[in-house]
């Protein structure tokens, strides 16, 4: 038995996989103590199995966890007090960044503050040159003086990024040794071992972000593993990473920057599997709708989308993680997004969210602002007596009263018109987010399907899909817990990188192959350690390369793990040209190519295929009819069908409501829904 748990802003999702069967559970997220929310979800699963928690957990082999704990700490400023040590004369790396502006002519936006303020930035007298030679020896006495200042300032973490430590780390290693000796118990991150990339800002930013998260994430993961153990769990605790894989929690605790996008990164993994199974492998726009955010990504040609431009917050205004990660765009539009009227009398939705505490008004937990969920109840989409399978009864009248007071009356609308307008505006925001990853990149949404994930996905997934002109909409049977389901499909994996500059004109075969051999040995060591129980292991190689005098590199896959002959080099150059054409539609075949950073990734497959399926239930008919409201029809009768009992041979014409204990799918008028053989819900227009 394997357990996968994803802690979101509103709900904590749990998938229990036993053999070929999965079960889904949701509990409210508890922001003051997220581990309590995890244990609450596990108790629901244990109760369903008719066992006490200790017996239930004792049967589990693995617990795979995704959490927004790290990114939320950064966004709210609740990270450790962190110092930044860099080479003397270069204290402004985090201030200057790399340039670039989202709005180049909007000078009213202040320049963003550095991740570590200047008062906590310290210059270390030393200098290593680009070729690795030492121009100025490390001044250890000066480092010890800095240590005393760090003690006086009660610094809680330290990030060290010295110039060209990726070529020769001798000084950076020694600084790390001095800090460990004279600042015992204070976590330290060294840039050359964490992120050996050429870009100085990215390397420095990754280092200080990682250091700032270490106290928080170590305490969180220590609490998680300890309390799971106390509850009876004796299996392996794994964490989802931003790269779409999983690692042992102990490894992530030592490099917590890998956990920043751990939750959303799993949705595309699940999306790839479900698209192949239920929609002929079409390109899939994967939309994961939670209570707080709407996360979108694009899966095509069986590939998970990647980006090297991973920002926390807005591009150029936030902070760059410096690591490649699964490419997921997020906007503040979820079930808990708050509807409000601005000073100009215009309706707005989000980005503020009611979250899980206090939650939407209908939750009865103290919420005072109308949300998307409240509007869905008013319109009849959600049955207030069957929320979370009836374990939570919602207050429809309270939602109506608040929406009338704060939205309908100020705008001169009926309550129903106001609620429908909120849903329409939320839909348009979601369409705009999807346009960025499709139309803006030259991809026609009509060739793709829209995959709805998250508990709130079904409320307007059909409306979003129709608005985009998609080929159809797919709601997987585990769609309400899509990220947690993706965690069960993931491999144990790790990435390694090493910088070595060379060109195709003067290619250094011996040095390159020595680097590749070193990377391969690290991958094999990982496979023999954390990946030792895998069904099989694969190692893939790539290189970050660019045309001569270009600024940015692109990652180019390598067919082999060595470049031994001129034919191998020619093949690598051809792969670079092809990759460049795929991204930019042009190549420069006459230009020399610069190879900068060499990478290797090891993937340890621990499970074949995707996940199990929900256990079948006897086919059922229409539960009842319910009045629902659509802008184009007004109030109308819609049949209500239980998702679990819907047979694959039955086609349902909208308007209809297909509901389960964890999600509600609104089948709009003039659309058709059918349960697939795999168990998902396929909707066409």
Per-residue b or e along 77-108, where b marks 16 or more CB atoms closer than 10 Å to that residue's CB: eebbebbbbbbbebbebbbebeeeeeeeeeee
* Boundary (domain end) residue, out of 211, 235, 266: 266
> Among the three residues 223, 250, 266, which one is the final residue of a domain in this structure?
266
375 lies in a domain?
no
- Tokens 């070193």 map to which residue? 518
Entry pTM: 0.86
User: Does the pLDDT value for residue 291 go beyond 80?
Assistant: no
Mean pLDDT of the chain: 90
CA-wise closest residue to 299 among 491, 176, 453: 453
**pLDDT digits over 2-32, tens only?**
999 988 777 888 999 988 888 999 888 888 8
Q: Is residue 624 part of a domain?
A: no
Beta bridge partner(s), residue 339? 349
CA 673 to chain centre: 29
Say whether both 220 and 308 belong to one domain.
Answer: no
Any idea what the CATH number is for the domain that residue 497 is in?
3.30.1490
Estimate the share of the chain in helix, then strand, then coil, as percent rounded to the nearest 5. 35, 25, 35
CATH code at position 459 = 3.30.420.260
Residue 13 falls inside a structural domain: yes
Domain enclosing residue 282, as ranges: 267-333+427-488
Q: In this structure, are 48 and 99 located in the same domain?
A: yes
Give the HSE-up count for residue 250: Cα atoms under 13 Å, Cβ half-sphere. 4
- Judge whether residue 619 has pLDDT over 70: no
| DSSP code at position 125 | -
Residue 171 contacts residue 222 (beta carbons within 8 Å):
no
In a shared domain, residues 100 and 25: yes
3-state secondary structure of 135: strand
> Do 34 and 169 belong to one domain?
yes
pLDDT for 255-273, tens place per residue?
A: 999 988 877 788 888 888 8
The two three-digit tokens of residue 558, written as one number:
């390598």
pLDDT band for position 622 (50/70/90)?
low
Q: Answer whether residue 319 is part of any domain.
A: yes
When pLDDT is cut at 50, 70 and 90, the band that residue 392 belongs to is confident
- Mind giving me the DSSP string for 220-267? HHHHHHHHHHHHT--SEEEEE-TTS-EEEHHHHHHSGGGGTTTTTTHH
SS (H, E, C) 645-673: HCCCCCEEECCEEEECCCCEEEECCCCEE
Residues 6+ apart with CB under 8 A from 93: 86, 161, 200, 201, 204
- Beta-carbon contacts of 514 under 8 Å, excluding residues fewer than 6 positions away, are none
The predicted pLDDT at position 133 comes to: 95
The contacts of residue 250 (CB under 8 Å, 6+ apart) are 221
**Range among 380-384, 427-431, 568-572 with highest mean pLDDT value:** 568-572
Domain boundary among the residues 605, 620, 654 is at: 605
Nearest C-alpha neighbor of 488 from the set 240, 233, 275: 240
For residue 631, is it within any domain? no
Q: Pairing between strand 449-453 and 472-475? A: parallel
Q: Both 431 and 441 in a single domain?
A: yes
DSSP H helices in 170-199: 170-182, 191-194
Does residue 623 carry a pLDDT above 80?
A: no
Report the sign of the C-alpha dihedral through residues 488, 490, 494, 497, in that order. Answer: negative
* Same domain as 234, residue 275: no
Q: Looking at 30-100, list the stretches that DSSP marks H as alpha helix, in order from N- to C-terminal side.
A: 34-49, 53-58, 69-76, 93-96
Are 484 and 507 members of one domain? no
For residue 636, being part of any structural domain is answered with no
Q: Are 433 and 512 within one domain?
A: no
Tell me whether residue 348 is in a domain.
Answer: no
Residue 615 has pLDDT above 80, yes or no: no
183 in a structural domain? yes
pLDDT on residue 141: 97
Same domain? For 114 and 222 the reply is yes
One domain, residues 520 and 472:
no
Of 55-64, 66-75, 302-311, the range with the lowest mean pLDDT is: 302-311
109 and 255 assigned to the same domain = yes
Count: domains in the chain: 3
Phi-psi region of 639 (alpha: psi -120 to 50; beta: other; left: phi over 0): beta
DSSP state of 148: H
Question: 282 and 233 in one domain?
Answer: no
Give the pLDDT confidence score for residue 621 in this predicted structure: 53
Question: What digits encode the pLDDT tens for the residues 660-678?
Answer: 888 889 999 999 999 888 8
Residue 290 has pLDDT above 60, yes or no: yes
């Amino acid at each position: 038995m394997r357990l996968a748990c994803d802690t979101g802003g509103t709900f904590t999702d749990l998938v229990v996989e036993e053999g070929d069967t999965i079960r889904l559970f949701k509990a409210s997220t508890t922001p003051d103590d997220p581990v309590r929310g995890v244990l609450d979800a596990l108790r629901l699963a244990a109760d369903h199995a008719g066992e006490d928690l200790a017996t239930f957990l004792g049967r589990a082999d693995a617990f795979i966890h995704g959490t927004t704990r790290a990114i939320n700490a950064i966004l709210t400023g609740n990270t450790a007090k962190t110092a930044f040590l860099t080479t003397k004369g270069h204290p402004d790396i985090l201030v200057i960044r790399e340039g670039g502006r989202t709005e180049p002519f909007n000078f009213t936006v202040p320049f963003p503050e550095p991740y570590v303020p200047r008062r906590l930035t310290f210059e270390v007298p030393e200098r290593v040159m680009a070729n690795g030679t030492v121009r100025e020896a490390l001044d250890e006495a000066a480092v010890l003086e800095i240590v005393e200042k760090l003690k006086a300032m009660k610094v809680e973490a330290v990030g060290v990024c010295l110039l060209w430590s990726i070529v020769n780390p001798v000084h950076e290693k020694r600084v790390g040794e001095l800090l460990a000796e004279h600042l015992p118990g204070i976590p330290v991150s060294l840039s050359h071992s964490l992120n050996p990339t050429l870009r100085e800002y990215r390397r420095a930013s990754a280092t200080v972000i990682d250091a700032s998260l270490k106290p928080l994430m170590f305490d969180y993961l220590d609490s998680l593993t300890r309390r799971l153990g106390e509850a009876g769990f004796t299996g392996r605790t794994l964490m989802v990473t931003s790269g779409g894989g999983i690692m042992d929690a102990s490894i992530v605790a030592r490099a917590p920057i890998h956990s920043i996008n751990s939750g959303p990164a799993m949705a595309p993994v699940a999306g790839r599997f479900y698209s192949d199974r239920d929609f002929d492998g079409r390109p899939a726009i994967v939309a994961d709708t939670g209570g707080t955010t709407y996360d979108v990504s694009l899966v095509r040609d069986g590939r998970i989308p990647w980006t090297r431009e991973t920002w926390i917050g807005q591009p150029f205004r936030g902070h760059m993680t410096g690591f490649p990660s699964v490419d997921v765009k997020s906007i503040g539009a979820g079930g808990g997004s708050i509807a409000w009227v601005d000073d100009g009398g215009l309706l707005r939705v989000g980005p503020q969210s009611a979250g899980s505490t206090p939650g939407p008004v209908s939750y009865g937990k103290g919420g005072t602002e109308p949300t998307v969920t409240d509007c869905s109840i008013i319109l009849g989409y959600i049955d207030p007596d069957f929320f979370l399978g009836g374990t939570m009864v919602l207050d429809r009248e309270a939602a109506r009263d608040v929406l009338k007071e704060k939205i309908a009356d100020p705008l001169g609308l009926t309550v129903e018109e106001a609620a429908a307008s909120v849903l329409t505006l939320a839909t348009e925001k979601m369409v705009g987010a999807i346009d960025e990853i499709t139309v803006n990149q030259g991809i026609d949404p009509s060739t793709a399907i829209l995959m709805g994930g998250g508990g709130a996905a079904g409320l307007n997934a059909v409306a979003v899909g129709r608005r985009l002109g998609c080929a159809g909409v797919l709601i997987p049977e585990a769609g309400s817990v899509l990220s947690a389901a993706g965690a069960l499909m993931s491999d144990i994996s790790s990435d390694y990188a090493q910088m070595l500059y060379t060109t195709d004109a003067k290619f250094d075969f011996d040095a390159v192959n020595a680097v590749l051999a070193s990377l391969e040995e690290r991958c094999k060591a990982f496979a023999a350690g954390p990946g030792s129980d895998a069904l099989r292991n694969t190692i893939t190689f790539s290189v970050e390369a660019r045309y001569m005098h270009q600024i940015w590199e692109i990652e180019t896959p390598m067919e082999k793990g060595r470049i031994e002959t001129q034919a191998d080099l020619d093949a690598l150059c051809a792969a670079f040209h092809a990759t460049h054409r795929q991204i930019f539609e042009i190549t420069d075949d006459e230009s020399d190519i610069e190879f900068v950073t060499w990478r290797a990734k090891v993937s340890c497959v621990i499970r074949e295929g995707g996940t199990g399926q929900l256990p079948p239930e006897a086919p059922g008919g229409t539960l009842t009819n319910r009045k629902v409201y659509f802008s184009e029809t007004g109030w109308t009768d819609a049949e209500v069908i239980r998702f679990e009992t819907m047979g694959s041979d039955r086609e349902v014409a909208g308007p209809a409501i297909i509901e389960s204990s964890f999600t509600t799918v609104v089948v709009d008028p003039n659309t058709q829904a059918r349960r697939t053989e795999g168990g998902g819900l396929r909707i066409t227009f």
